[in-house]
Amino acid sequence: MIISGKELSARMKADMAAQVAEFPVKYGRVPHLVVILVGDDPASQSYVRGKGKACEVVGIRNTTIVKPATITEQELLDIIEGLNNDDGVDGILVQLPLPDHIDEATIINAIRKDKDVDGFHPLNVAALWMKQPCTVACTPKGIIRMLDEAGVEIKGKRAVVIGRSQIVGLPVAKLLLDRNATVTICHSRTKDLGAVTREAEILVVAIGRPKFVTADMVSPGTVVIDVGVNRDPETGKLVGDVDFEAIEPKASVITPVPGGVGPMTIACLMENTIECFLRKKQG
Ligand code: NAP
């Protein structure tokens, strides 16, 4: 079974559009997401365009602020401060990565927790680990939604996550743990990775290396979630971290790249923006 993130995210966005259509009458306006793009990296430009398109579909107001790569850290902080204090702004997202002279942690910390639609602010991260109300990072949230949609029982399962980044590996491991999976987190120093992944009933792969996970690393019937977004060095096509063609016949459930986790991340960003708006409007 191949889980289409494209289809599920389209359904989520249609439901959100119906919800947002009632906001002008209920709350006097629609949610407003501000995206800041620094520099002219084509991948970042494409991600920002995708976010703008999703806002259009859902009916969320979107402002994109584009700044040259030469902007100073202080100038960027000043923009964020203005947006933090603007009551008409519900969500602030700074597209990563940033140029080397700007410290990403400083920028993420500057966004107010209640406007941090990415869920990257340390207070949101801490709240997630303490099981308190928070904004959950979009990609991990989208992964759990896909598992639920596919009818995968998480409770009691052996889950293996490859990758321990703050934005994917660690939060997805925590969400799986909260759903009562038994979770193993692997990384670049893990010895005999295949021996660990073959034990997995749910395998989440977030490394960033094309077709790194091969068929011999996956046991029959495994649920495989491929988070990776890479260019195939031979064909130049977009591929995941998993050798999809070889693993798809063995997996009980698998996500494709493209069209899997990626669209779900954007749908969950829309959801997070609405949640930030409602938290403010409903107190
Ligand atoms: P990251 O910060 O670079 O983290 C990569 C992780 O992979 C690290 O924890 C690293 O281990 C581990 N790793 C690297 N080589 C390994 C190896 N040989 N064996 C086992 N583990 C290894 O990357 P990220 O931000 O989490 O992103 C991962 C991938 O997901 C990328 O392709 C990215 O583009 C993609 N992504 C997709 C979405 C989406 O919406 N679809 C969202 C975010 C990211 P160490 O900690 O030991 O270095």
Distance, in Å, from the CA atom of 213 to the CA atom of 198, rounded to the nearest integer, reads 11
Write out the catalytic residue numbers: 51, 95, 118
pLDDT, position 283: 77
Q: What sign does the CA torsion over 168, 169, 171, 173 have?
A: positive
Q: How many CA within 13 A on the CB side of residue 228? A: 27
* Strands (E) located in 26-86: 32-38, 61-67
Q: What sign does the CA torsion over 44, 94, 4, 179 have?
A: positive
Distance, in Å, from the CA atom of 61 to the CA atom of 283, rounded to the nearest integer, reads 21
pLDDT, position 53: 98
pLDDT, position 244: 97
Mutate-to-test residue for ligand 1 from 188, 193, 212, 255, highest number of ligand atoms within 8 A of CB: 188
Residue whose CA is at the smallest distance from ligand 1 atom 13: 188
In the predicted model, residues of the chain with pLDDT beneath 70 are: none
